[in-house]
Amino acid sequence: MLFGANAVALKISLTGGGVFTNAGISFGIAELVTTVFGFVAWNTMIQIFGATALRSFVFIMPISGVFLGVTLLGEPITPNLIYAIFLVVVGLIVVNKVSRKRLPRMYT
């Protein structure tokens, strides 16, 4: 994420806008806020759920990205997009499915 932000800031400065324009400063503040929020949220969720249970939350990102793209940017919903969301949801169900059969404990 930071690499992409730095690349955009570099492009702004190379096109003559400069990094310290209103757009560059607001972009830097937005980058800092989202980075801090993501870091704090991720570490808080690891403390609450644990790293093992949190692994499946990573797969929710594509769904939230599609949802935000459709609602905020007005992107069209295509059959391929619906099929892709279906596959992600099925993957989440398969990953989180708890087996009823327990393995014997090796060390007691």
| Span 61-78, pLDDT tens digits | 788 888 888 888 888 999
Residue 38 pLDDT level (bands cut at 50, 70, 90): confident
Residue among 52, 44, 42, 8 at smallest CA distance from 27 = 8
Angle between helices 2-14 and 22-49 (to 10 degrees): 180
Closest CA relative to residue 35, chosen from 65, 7, 3, 68:
3
| Alpha-carbon span 66 to 81, nearest angstrom | 8
CB 27 within 8 A of CB 56: no
- How large is the average pLDDT for residues 70-89? 89
Per-residue model confidence (pLDDT) at position 71: 86
The percent of residues in the chain predicted with pLDDT above 70, rounded, is 68
**Stretch 10-28: mean pLDDT:** 63
